[in-house]
């Protein structure tokens, strides 16, 4: 099972770009990397998913180096409403759900 | 388009009581999941289902039971509630892990 390591917390200011890195040294060949966002009193929300190189959508970008042992979620020009916990998950999309574990995540606080 | 609907939103149970947490999805997803989240912690998988009639244990199944008679519904049963089951419970569904999970808004359960 690929474990992940993320910073416990990060602070940023409005308008800045935020990069949250996740380490997953023992990622397997079939594993994908998925990021979720969770606001207080809400369920997590899917942000982005990727396998290698770079993936971009309307919300974020995901950068994955060639060795895939880490990944970086990039949030452009954050606002106060981006304050949330961000989770990095690694697992085989066609494997058992037991492999996908939510760690404690990264608490991002955006300051005015 | 409701997504994943959980009821009730809040509940207080006395020790030893039983209850069923309801979860319904209208996206025709085959995969459904139950997670619990304790304060300041990540989500832990209780049970999951890959289709009607098929369920399997997650990381923390003790004290819970599930059934999946239809694609839409995935109720979670708590028997003989204990204070250790005080938590926020999230139901989720997906068409396959590669597409990410859609979470419900959660049920906050307190056992006293």
| 3-state DSSP of B38-92 | CCCCCEEEEEEEEECCEEEECCCCCCEEECCCCCCECCEEECCCCHHHCEEEEEE
Confidence of residue B84 (pLDDT cuts 50, 70, 90): very high
CA distance B91 to B13: 19
| B20 bridge partner residues | B77
Arithmetic mean of pLDDT, B58-73: 96
Q: Is the pLDDT of residue A97 over 80?
A: no
Q: Residue A94 has what pLDDT? A: 75
Chain B contact set for A98 (CB, 8 A): 45, 48, 56, 58-59
Confidence of residue B66 (pLDDT cuts 50, 70, 90): very high
Arithmetic mean of pLDDT, A72-89: 96
Per the model's pLDDT, the better-predicted residue between B67 and B100 turns out to be: B67
Tell me the three state secondary structure of residue B29.
coil
Q: Is the pLDDT of residue B98 over 70?
A: no
Q: How do B4-7 and B19-25 pair as beta strands? A: antiparallel
CA distances to A21, A31, B37 from A89, rounded to whole Å, are: 12, 10, 16
Arithmetic mean of pLDDT, A86-102: 82
The reply to whether residue A97 touches residue B33, judged by beta carbons under 8 angstroms, is: yes
Confidence of residue A99 (pLDDT cuts 50, 70, 90): confident
The reply to whether residue A44 touches residue B33, judged by beta carbons under 8 angstroms, is: no
Q: Residue A95 has what pLDDT? A: 76
Q: Which string of b and e fits A87-99 if b means at least 16 CB within 10 Å?
A: bbbbbbbeeebeb
Q: Are B48 and B24 in contact (CB under 8 A)?
A: no
Chain A contact set for B93 (CB, 8 A): none
Residue B80, CB-side half-sphere exposure with 13 Å CA sphere: 2
Chain A contact set for B30 (CB, 8 A): none
Is residue B33 within a helix (H) or strand (E), and if so which, with residue range? strand B31-37
Would you state the structure tokens that stand for residue A85, as one six-digit string? 């916990």
């Amino acid at each position: 099972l690929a474990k992940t390591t993320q910073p416990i917390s990060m602070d940023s200011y409005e308008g800045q770009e935020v990069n949250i890195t996740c380490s997953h040294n023992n990622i397997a060949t079939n594993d994908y990397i998925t990021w979720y966002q969770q606001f207080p009193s809400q369920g997590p929300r899917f942000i982005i998913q990727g396998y290698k190189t770079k993936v971009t959508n309307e919300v974020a970008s995901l950068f994955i180096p060639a060795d895939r042992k880490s990944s970086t979620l990039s949030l452009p020009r954050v606002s106060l409403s981006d304050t949330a916990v961000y989770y990095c998950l690694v697992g085989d999309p066609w494997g058992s759900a037991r492999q996908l574990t939510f760690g404690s995540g990264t608490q991002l606080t955006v300051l005015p | 388009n409701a997504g994943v609907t959980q009821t009730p939103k809040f509940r207080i149970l006395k020790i030893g009581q039983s209850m069923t947490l309801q979860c319904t999805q209208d996206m025709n997803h085959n995969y459904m999941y139950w997670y619990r989240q304790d304060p300041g912690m990540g989500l832990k998988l209780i049970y999951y289902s890959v289709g009607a009639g098929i369920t399997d244990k997650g990381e923390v199944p003790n004290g819970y039971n599930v059934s999946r008679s239809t694609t839409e519904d995935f109720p979670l049963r708590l028997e003989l509630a204990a204070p250790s089951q005080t938590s926020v419970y999230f139901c989720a569904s997906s068409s396959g892990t590669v597409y990410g999970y859609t979470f419900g808004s959660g049920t906050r359960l307190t056992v006293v």
